[in-house]
A and B are shown apart, each in its own frame.
Chain A
Amino acid sequence: MKNKQRVLSSVNSEFTTTQWMVLKDKIGRAWYRFRRNSISITGGSMVLLVILLAILAPYVTPYPQHAGAFTDFLNAFQTPSKSHWFGTDEIGRDLFTRVIFGYRISLMLAVIVLGISVPLGVILGLTAGYFGGRIETIIMRTTDVFLALPPLVMALAICAAFTPTIERAMLAIASIWWTWHCRLVHGITRSIKTEEFVQASWVIGDSHFRIIFKDILPNCMSAIIVKTTLDVGFVILIGAGLSFLGLGTQPPKSDLGTMISYGAQYLPTKWWPTVFPSFAILFLILGFNLLGDGLRDMLDVETEGI
């Protein structure tokens, strides 16, 4: 008994941690790993830049009124200059402004599509992976069917069947996109289900609901975050593709894909209406991809406690 007290007092005087300190330490470590990797810093900065520009679009662009319906045929096809950094398009609108506003639409597209498809896919994946049996078969075979359809083709079909709008385009993409997350989470759930801490929760008497959300989901989070970040690039690309084909945003709204589409006719002499929106998409997607890679490196090591 004396020994026990000696151990206890030594253990108590070693340190005092609070919840706050532990949280600070966790964040500090994560940041340390993140900034060690130049890829993630680069990607993160690019993404941050685009997001800020998009949010503050009306305030940082030189000609915010050019984003919507505006005509100035006298100024059409101006080459890039000091007053128009990216030049003007065929109607005389400032390209720089339209590109930034185009970012708004692209990001909004990504947020809505992923905002619908990721939760849906995750919940279905968790359910299928955890319960197994018939439920799993039904969900996963349905997933297989949807996965057989290329997203772009599906989106085309939906948009062409009804009048194309940007909302329909988003729904079309979302209706396919959940399958990837479902499959990802399903796989992780199945492997985590056999871990001993899940068995321990059974032994305690946790309900299924509790186990899924408190034990399994947190272990899927890093994979979901990385995949979602990388998905942004793909979704934006598909959205731009739809707009390029005329099935997404309708003019006079400025969408990067639409801009490329209209500008393509004037290549190669008037190159700027096509090139700048293309680079804009490239920049955005590259940023998200680098960020996703960096996040993956950072989050992978987390569970090893270093």
Chain B
Amino acid sequence: MNNPLLTVENLVKYFPIRVGFFQRRIGKVRAVDGVSFDIKNCEIFGLIGESGSGKSTVGKTLVRIYKPTGGAVWFKGRDVTKSTKENLRFFKKEVQMVFQDPKSSLNPRRSIKSTLEDPLIVHRIAQNGRDRERIIGNLLQMVELSPNYMYKYPSALSGGQRQRVAIARALAVKPSFIVLDEPTSALDVSVQAKIIHLLQGLQREFHLSYLFISHDLSLVRTIARRTAVMYLGRIYEIAPTEKLFTSPLHPYTRTLISAVPVISKEEQEAKPMKQSRGGEIPSPVNPPNGCAFHPRCSLADKICSQQLPELVEVIRGHFVRCHHVSFNMPSVKQ
């Protein structure tokens, strides 16, 4: 039980940039540049970051939409980066994904039934057509939709309903781990609340683990047990969620939290001081040397532009990647 369900070791994913008629390679996008973390059984792990941080790429590389350029991924003790056929078959039954945009994650030309039948047919879960219909009906009820919905097309469904179907599709193979890539970003706040409750309920009922990727910090605070902060392809801080938000150690984390638009005075007062000097987020094609945050960081030093700091466990369970963080931590509210 103590062994983590998923261990990611130094995951790397680069995308080549090709131009011209002959598709010459002129550079690469360092989307994920050495990411390591692990996720335990029945845990919701949050991954936050802005655009260019690589968080979506991490998710998609984990589910093998992209092949990793380097690094290793261990799932239930198996090294799944070695893509043998048996490995893949096993992996695809255990690990599933829910995508961000409900409009594009369901094929507009296929009925809901056809979409949900896919995993059942591919993994030979049902005996015949009637059996499949029964299972699909059950899946839809699990996500609080009437089984009648199976004959409809995605265009007849609202965003929240489509996302429920996407969740049902992920559940069809009875996975133990689901990657959720911004599952509620495209939804209204009241619909989001319902979907979040649904996800939490399903997690408890089926003992699932989630990798919850989002740019909505408040949402991750509510749902995740542990959270990692990514910036330009690397993780800069990992901590139990509560600790991350009440005492963020990394300057970027503090900047990020301070920038969130909030709706109450209590939240406003709980924010840390931002520690950045403004400026744009650099592109992952040409990330800054050393610590990638140093051009925007108000604590930046000469060493920051030369040497990439290590991800170090400064307090039990709390990891930070920064030259200026030591064991004597200043308090948050300044």
Q: A: which residues have CB within 8 A of B?
A: 4, 7-8, 11-12, 14-19, 21-22, 26, 195-197, 199-207, 210, 214-215, 218-219, 221, 303-305
Contact = CB atoms under 8 A, between A and B. Distances in A.
B153 A11 contact: no
Interface in B44-102: 60, 63-65, 88-89, 92-93, 96-97, 99-101
Contacts of A21: 151
B108 A219 contact: yes
Query: Which of A16, A200, A210 lies at the interface centre, i.e. has the most chain B CB atoms within 10 A of its CB?
Result: A200
B329 to A, nearest CB: 41
B38 interface: no
B285 interface: no
Given A8-B141, A8-B144, A11-B146, A203 B65 contact: yes
B316 interface: no
A22 B153 contact: yes
Interface string B141-162: 1001110110111111000000
A284 B89 CA distance: 54
A199 B99 contact: yes
Contact of A195 (B93, B104, B154): B104
A40 to B, nearest CB: 21
A219 B92 contact: no
B97 A200 contact: yes
Given A22-B153, A206-B122, A214-B114, A200 B148 contact: no
Given A197-B105, A214-B110, A219-B109, A204 B118 contact: yes
Interface of B: 60, 63-65, 88-89, 92-93, 96-97, 99-101, 104-111, 114-115, 118-119, 122-123, 141, 144-146, 148-149, 151-156, 166, 169, 173, 201
B196 to A, nearest CB: 14
A103 to B, nearest CB: 34
Contacts of A219: 107-109
A207 B88 CA distance: 12
Contacts of B108: 219, 303
Contact of B173 (A15, A204, A210, A221): A204
B104 A14 contact: no
A197 B108 CA distance: 9
A200 B96 CA distance: 9
Contacts of B89: 205
8 contacts: A8-B146, A17-B152, A197-B105, A197-B115, A199-B60, A202-B65, A205-B92, A305-B154
Given A15-B148, A305-B155, A203 B92 contact: yes
B63 A206 contact: no
A215 B152 CA distance: 17
Contacts of B65: 199, 202-203
Nearest to B97: A203
Query: Which of A8, A14, A22, A304 counts the most B-chain CB atoms under 10 A from its CB?
Result: A22
Given A17-B151, A197-B104, A197-B106, A11 B144 contact: yes
Nearest to A304: B155
A218 B110 contact: yes
B107 A18 contact: no
Contact of B122 (A14, A195, A205, A221): A205
A199 B105 CA distance: 8
Contacts of A22: 111, 151-153
Contacts of B201: 4
B199 to A, nearest CB: 14
Going nearest first, the 4 A-B pairs with the smallest beta carbon separation are: A305-B155, A218-B109, A205-B92, A197-B107
B99 A18 contact: no
A115 B20 CA distance: 36
A218 B169 CA distance: 20
A12 B107 contact: no
A196 to B, nearest CB: 4
Nearest to A211: B118
A126 to B, nearest CB: 15
Nearest to A16: B148
Given A4-B144, A8-B144, A204 B122 contact: yes
A181 B60 CA distance: 33
Contacts of B100: 196
Contacts of B60: 199
B151 A19 contact: yes
Nearest to A216: B107
B307 to A, nearest CB: 37
A16 B144 CA distance: 15
Contacts of A18: 148, 151
A210 B119 CA distance: 12
A219 B107 CA distance: 8
A128 B287 CA distance: 35
Contacts of A17: 148-149, 151-152
Contacts of B105: 196-197, 200
Contacts of A195: 104
